[in-house]
Amino acid sequence: MLYYLFEYLEKQFQLTGASVFQFITFRAALAIIMSLLFSTIFGKRIIRLLQKMQVGESVRDLGLEGQVEKAGTPTMGGLIIIFSTLIPVLLLAKLENIYVIMLIVTTIWMGLVGFTDDYIKVFKKDKGGLSGKFKVLGQVGLGIFVGSIMYFHPGVTIKTEKINPVNSTELITQNSVKEFNPEEQSLKTTIPFVKDNEFDYTSIVTLFGEDYAKYAWLVFIPIVIFIVTAVSNGANLTDGIDGLAAGSSAIIVFTLAIFAFISGNIVFSDYLNVMFIPRLGELVVFIAAFVGALIGFLWYNTYPAQVFMGDTGSLTIGGIIAVIAIAVRKELLIPLLCGIFFAESLSVILQVSWFKYTKKKYGEGRRIFKMSPLHHHYQKGGYHESKIVTRFWIVGIFLAILTIVTLKLR
């Protein structure tokens, strides 16, 4: 809204300094400051409100150090993240931008799914929360929405043909972009560590004939559904000890901001030889607000946590990360960039699968880890959760750097 206000003031009254709101970098910086201030200042009030409403976490005793003391800690703290993200976005972003719209819908959609789950746990006293099939239904619904937008919406385009302008001034003008590099709707994405690193999902169906290209959405949308479901569940599993999910997510999202800025900028995308995605740069404003919200939430979520994000936060975080990666066309980098989420999910899959297999074969279930998800394995091993979180963050930073390196390492 502020963007449109200052745009109007500049056009009508030539207000000095109003043009600064035209720059994505300025609005992104302002977004992260606003979200940080909102999450830290108003976050305390939200926590007090949750305490007043007795929205406390019911903790099942798993024999972990300090676990019992956490019972009664306010949950649903994901509301802090959601509000701290959406308010700066509504004030500073171009709200007609399809990528911004898609992320706003994602935030509200997954926030409602997570909130419903937490509400049932807290107020209905049902520890199981929202039924798993309804959670999956919510994730599938979001996947269908995002996949349909990415495939059908005319504003979702790419430009892969490189520009050879006469001079640097011509490079940054809209006319030269349209003349030398026309937009096209495409299902192309990026394959990491490969020289010619673009893969078109349409090629999967054209194996049966070129006439099948129009049915590419039948392949693409299920892939999007899988990615959204996997990442949101991965974030949910990671949210087990103070600060782990929020800190790991902040590292991931900041990395995606770099990719969004590069892919949405004609100069940098051309220099680094990556696909240019028109209008994607506006996504940086949303991501900046999201990063600020996550860091601000950590103010109250680091050990010992004053509030838990609950499924309201974890499912929302995972959904947003998945959709950003898909929009930036870097979804194939998720296993690397979201390595923490991947390891946590894999540990649960391996543990459950091995337990069932050995119980069927030997009559008693055996375990690979002392406990899953993976962070609980280290807790059982005697590590303090602060040390576990810090080391997981370090691994997350390493994976983020390696992911950024893929821009040139092919």
Nearest to residue 194, comparing CAs of 287, 333, 23, 30? 333
Q: pLDDT band at 178, cuts 50/70/90?
A: very low
Unique residue bearing structure tokens 């019992």: 68
Condensed to tens digits (0 to 9), the pLDDT of residues 314-346 reads 999 999 999 999 999 999 999 999 999 999 999
* Distances from the Cα of 191 to the Cα of 58, 197, 275, 278, 288, angstroms: 43, 5, 12, 20, 25
Residue 320's pLDDT is 97
CB–CB of 149/327 below 8 Å? no
| pLDDT score of 140 | 96
Q: Residue 363: count other Cβ atoms within 10 Å of its Cβ.
A: 7
Residue 405 confidence class, pLDDT cut points 50, 70, 90 = very high
pLDDT of residue 145: 97
Average pLDDT over residues 378-383: 92
Give the least confident one: 80-94, 155-169, 204-218, 264-278: 155-169
Which DSSP symbol is given to 281? G
pLDDT in tens, 46-69: 999 988 887 766 655 566 665 556
Residue 210 has pLDDT above 90, yes or no: no
Separation of alpha carbons 21 and 5, rounded Å: 10
Output the pLDDT for position 211: 86
Three-class SS state of 199 = strand
Q: According to the per-residue pLDDT averaged within each range, which of 54-58, 144-148, 188-192 is highest? A: 144-148
Closest CA to 108 of 142, 152, 131: 142
Tell me which amino acid residue 210 is. E
Phi, psi of 74 (to 5 degrees): -55, 140
Q: Which of 72-76, 93-97, 200-204, 346-350 has the lowest mean pLDDT?
A: 72-76
Residue 176, pLDDT > 50, answer: no
d(CA 113, CA 46): 20
Is residue 181 within 8 Å of residue 194, measured between CB atoms?
no
| Domain limits, the chain | 106-281+299-405
Percent above pLDDT 90 for the chain: 68
Residue 240: pLDDT band with limits 50, 70, 90: confident
**3-class DSSP assignment, residue 190:** strand
Contact, 82 vs 107, CB < 8 A?
yes
C-alpha distances in Å from residue 262, one per residue of 18, 273, 319? 25, 10, 22
Cα angle, residue 106 at apex, residues 136 and 263 outer, rounded to 5°: 120
Mean pLDDT of the chain: 89
Q: What is the CB neighbour count within 10 angstroms for residue 286? A: 31
Closest by alpha carbon to 320, among 158, 82, 79?
82
**Residue 163: pLDDT band by 50, 70, 90 thresholds?**
low
User: Is the Cα dihedral 312, 313, 318, 323 positive or negative?
Assistant: positive
Whole-prediction pTM value?
A: 0.91
- What does the pLDDT look like over 32-44, one tens digit per residue? 999 999 999 999 9
Task: Using pLDDT thresholds of 50, 70 and 90, give the confidence band for residue 128.
Answer: confident
Q: What average pLDDT does the segment 129-136 reach?
A: 90
Whether 375 has a pLDDT exceeding 80, the answer reads yes
Q: Across the strands, what pairs with 190?
A: 198
Q: In this predicted structure, what is the pLDDT of residue 248? A: 97
Tell me if 138 sits within 8 A of 155, measured CB to CB.
no
Residue-level pLDDT at 171 = 45
CB 288 within 8 A of CB 55: no
Task: Give 208's contacts (C-beta < 8 A, 6+ positions apart).
Answer: none
Give the residue with greater pLDDT, 102 vs 270: 102
- Given a cut of 60, whether residue 162 has pLDDT beyond it is no
pLDDT exceeds 60 at position 276: yes
Whether pLDDT at 284 is above 80: yes
